[in-house]
Structure 1
Amino acid sequence: MTDVVFNRTDERLGRFAVRPVDPATDTELLHRWVTHPKSVFWMMQDAQPADVRREFEAIDADPHHDALLGLYEDRPAFLVERYDPTHSELAGRYAVRPGDVGMHFLVAPTDTPIPGFTRAVLTTVMELLFSDPANQRVVVEPDIRNHAVHALNAAVGFRVVRTIALPDKHAHLSTCTRQQYLAAREGAATVAAEATQ
């Protein structure tokens, strides 16, 4: 696939890849994902397809924000947004550092979950972000009620800085430096190796 911008092979689960979202062709798929009950923290439960298309067209036109469709074994499986925090709703709410990059991710809802899949998606997202040497710290702002994502974030090295009020939620502002991520990845690899001995 020529528009793929990043590839990663997970030792246990296989091939992941990322390509830019195309609002013209991806809207139907993304509408199904973001309006699913399991995607409640994306706050688009009542969105119509036209709303979703407008949202992703706006992201596509924004030089400080982009949306990427994640593939698993060549099939759409997750969504990633990356953004410049200085040009987002986080501006003025924390001390932005050079090398900060903001991120959101969504795993496609499924009735047949694969154990460890969401962690593998988040690892792919982190590898994507840190593949750019300019990115030194990832910043996220998940809803304080999203306990599952807080646990996942902690597993890859994120630390909660503080709780902040955003226009549509109260969020745990959390950050993960390149060093924190690498330490978490190394720790996970050690645990996995010990488990197989």
Structure 2
Amino acid sequence: MSDRYAYEQTVDGFGTVGIRPLDAEGDADVVHRWTSEERAAFWGMNGLTRDQVAEIYAHMAGLDTHHAHLVELDGEPVALLQTYDPAADRVSECYQVEPGDIGIHLLLAPAGARGARSGWSALLMGVLAAYVLLGLDRRRVVVDPDVRNEKAITRFLRQGFEAGPVVTLPEIDLPDVFLPEKKARLAFLRREVAFPDAR
């Protein structure tokens, strides 16, 4: 494995997927471009400047519970992955957190990105599931897409996630963080479901 990546996996016929910590300043241009697009409205960063995006991810880099990663395919950025400890997140007010849970937020690159072809998101999500469940040794993934984000919900369910309840994530208003209230569809993927042969 390259020193550049925290996790790396080669998928036949697809390429090598590498996951590395996001560089808040160095990756700000690409992340700002993605999060500014209309399709990324549910990400909650539409209208922010490049520097504001960099500032948000610099703040996250100082946290022990929330982490941002850039996902690359053969060295080209294809997704933004955020992982977090659900017990330290507002989602914990909406479901019973279990030991070994990990939360993720995922923003895929625009359709024109390298590797963006039929079936690529499923292959990519398979690698990301391997990273969080096997690489980070977690028992269950929780996601909380906006209930209106039908594309994301469908993508997770197709990947084997089990639909959970519709919940209202409370507003967070802190000096460093503001998150508006959000109606979300929870969904869960257990390690034994995703990787039945893994111990």
Corresponding residue of 1:169: 182
Distance 1:51 1:110 in 2: 25
| Counterpart residue type for residue 157 of structure 1 | G
Alignment of 1:85-100 (within 5 A): 85-100=86-101
Task: Give the alignment partner of residue 160 of structure 2, picking from 153, 157, 168.
Answer: 157
| Counterpart residue type for residue 45 of structure 2 | M
Corresponding residue of 1:179: 192
Distance 1:67 1:58 in 2: 11
Distance 1:79 1:41 in 2: 14
Task: Give the Å deviation of 1:133.
Answer: 5.8
Distance 1:170 1:138 in 2: 19
For these two proteins, the number of residue pairs brought into alignment is: 184
Distance 1:62 1:133 in 2: 17
Task: Give the alignment partner of residue 120 of structure 1, picking from 123, 129, 133.
Answer: 123
Cα deviation code 1:127-164 (max 9, x no counterpart)? 11012364000000001111111121112221111000
Corresponding residue of 2:139: 136
Equivalent pairs: percent with the same residue? Answer: 26
Task: Give the Å deviation of 1:100.
Answer: 0.2
Distance 2:74 2:119 in 1: 15
Q: Give the structure with the higher percent helix.
A: 1
Distance 1:94 1:13 in 2: 36
Cα deviation code 1:112-133 (max 9, x no counterpart)? 6411111122111101101236
Task: Give the Å deviation of 1:71.
Answer: 0.4
The CA RMSD over aligned residues, in Å, is 1.7
| Counterpart residue type for residue 81 of structure 2 | V
| Counterpart residue type for residue 10 of structure 2 | T
Matching of residue 37 in structure 1 with residue 38 in structure 2 = yes
Contiguous gaps of at least 5 residues in structure 2: 172-180
- CA contact 1:39–1:109 (8 Å) conserved in 2: no
SS of the residue aligned with 2:83? strand
SS of the residue aligned with 2:69? strand
SS of the residue aligned with 1:63? coil
Distance 1:73 1:133 in 2: 22
Contiguous gaps of at least 5 residues in structure 1: 186-197
Q: Give the TM-score, by structure 1 length.
A: 0.87
Task: Give the Å deviation of 1:79.
Answer: 0.8
CA spacing shift, 1:100–1:79, aligned 2, 3 Å: same
- CA contact 2:7–2:135 (8 Å) conserved in 1: no
Task: Give the Å deviation of 1:40.
Answer: 1.5
Alignment of 1:49-60 (within 5 A): 49-60=50-61
SS of the residue aligned with 1:80? strand
Corresponding residue of 1:22: 23
Cα deviation code 1:68-117 (max 9, x no counterpart)? 10001111111100000011111222110000000011111133641111
Alignment of 1:102-117 (within 5 A): 102-111=103-112, 113-117=116-120
